[in-house]
Structure 1
């Protein structure tokens, strides 16, 4: 990407003065790095909705924002067919900055300086896709949303609404009380990321601990007796494998 090419920019920050400053700085460096601001957002969810209708080359994203922070936003953007470059703006201390450098994610320390912003934009054409592993290292906490690609849109499914995750062929089905969603993720990775929220009951199934309302004996009449987990908001029980039953029993205090 040549520096003369006009970059389409989305600014994401929960503070209006910070958004205004970035817009002003982009105007100050317009001759060196021409840009056009195609939209602004106050958090990651607003940014994703905006990007459904506006194509962008670069997202300038604050790190700490309500609803959805900049790191989780970047992880969702990475699943787009043509993800924009992400440049973080942050007030993190020097140790966090070192983490950014090691992960090859560009960043701007607040207060953002014009030349630093110009230098960051100049690197856009040399960028590497933001790896989930690197982003997870910057924000070790679990995500608040799953992202689902559906009919050209990114749907955000709150993790707290998911009753269970079940591996089926190459996808994972995430079930809420209302419907099912297909996730292009590994059940093993999801188990590691959400270890405190989901409990493995079968080699292909994790259930939300908070949704468990009990267990019941099943299969007595068909010759395959086993235990089912009962989840709030779900009419049918989910079978617990013999291998997982001791751990499930211990976890649930049965």
Structure 2
């Protein structure tokens, strides 16, 4: 038998797209209340809903399924790690194929369904003892491209769907992501964005990546800068983006192939 721990309550968020699975975890947490008191502060059926549910709250542990619609558990864990007080993540899934990815996002534990009470208790005790790394401490790893990027703005965590981003532009220490409606400041590296989203974006210039499907045409640059004789026109917005002489053959070739 595992001895009872200190009587402080561990706050928990449960994220699973199946209601019976969420109910099962609630029941297990209730059964172990005398050994490890917990309080379920939030529940959600996918990663997007989970980020809404956790907004303004400080949660100790997130029990997260992996295969979920709209935003899966792996991507959710990456966004949670960017919070000021990131919860410890314990994956609870029916699939064993994601274990490597789970620990690459610094998950505390990886539980397979059906979850046994003793196994869940051990994972929660581990979470209590080991706080997860913050986003500034995480090592950059090769992972599947994200579906959303996150932006901190006036105390809120905003999510930007990647398909809505028309271009990224580097300026000093920040990168701007431009959608049809507005700009977002990202704490991201243009180089890392190019590595992660190279299938969707093309480099126009040392400071600019454009969404391939956002390019609507080219026009001569009005400036006298010999380095940028051409600029890209974009769908939906009037912005013009410079194309460097070095990148011009690649960009022109891509557009010709896409049009053929």
User: Does the CA contact (< 8 Å) of 2:78 and 2:105 recur in 1?
Assistant: no
TM-score after normalising by structure 2: 0.89
CA drift at 1:101: 5.6
Structure 2: state its 5+ residue gaps: none
* Partner residue of 1:168 out of 164, 168, 171: 171
User: Does the CA contact (< 8 Å) of 1:191 and 1:198 recur in 2?
Assistant: yes
Task: Give the 3 Å change call, closer, same or farther, for CA 76–97 of structure 1 in structure 2.
Answer: closer
Distance 1:27 1:199 in 2: 51
- Residue matched to 1:147: 150
- Residue matched to 2:99: 97
CA distances 1:169-188 after superposition (whole Å, capped 9, x unpaired)? 11100000110000001000
User: Does the CA contact (< 8 Å) of 1:3 and 1:122 recur in 2?
Assistant: no
- Residue matched to 1:87: 90
User: Does the CA contact (< 8 Å) of 2:106 and 2:133 recur in 1?
Assistant: no
User: Does the CA contact (< 8 Å) of 1:74 and 1:130 recur in 2?
Assistant: no
Task: Give the 3 Å change call, closer, same or farther, for CA 223–182 of structure 1 in structure 2.
Answer: closer
* Partner residue of 1:67 out of 67, 70, 93: 70
CA distances 1:185-205 after superposition (whole Å, capped 9, x unpaired)? 100000000010000000010
Distance 2:118 2:139 in 1: 30
Structure 1: state its 5+ residue gaps: none
Distance 2:239 2:158 in 1: 26
User: Does the CA contact (< 8 Å) of 2:14 and 2:62 recur in 1?
Assistant: yes
Q: Give the 3-state SS of the residue equivalent to 1:253 in structure 2.
A: helix
Determine if the alignment matches structure 1 residue 126 to structure 2 residue 130.
yes
Distance 1:99 1:146 in 2: 18
Distance 2:60 2:105 in 1: 20
Determine if the alignment matches structure 1 residue 157 to structure 2 residue 160.
yes
Q: Give the 3-state SS of the residue equivalent to 1:27 in structure 2.
A: helix
- Residue matched to 2:182: 179
CA drift at 1:232: 0.3
Q: How large is the Cα RMSD of the aligned pairs? A: 2.1
CA distances 1:54-110 after superposition (whole Å, capped 9, x unpaired)? 3211111110111111111111111111111111111223x5335546775211111
- Residue matched to 1:207: 210
TM-score after normalising by structure 1: 0.91
User: Does the CA contact (< 8 Å) of 2:74 and 2:102 recur in 1?
Assistant: no
CA distances 1:12-70 after superposition (whole Å, capped 9, x unpaired)? 00000000000000011112221000111111111111111332111111101111111
* Partner residue of 1:76 out of 79, 84, 87: 79
User: Does the CA contact (< 8 Å) of 2:233 and 2:240 recur in 1?
Assistant: yes
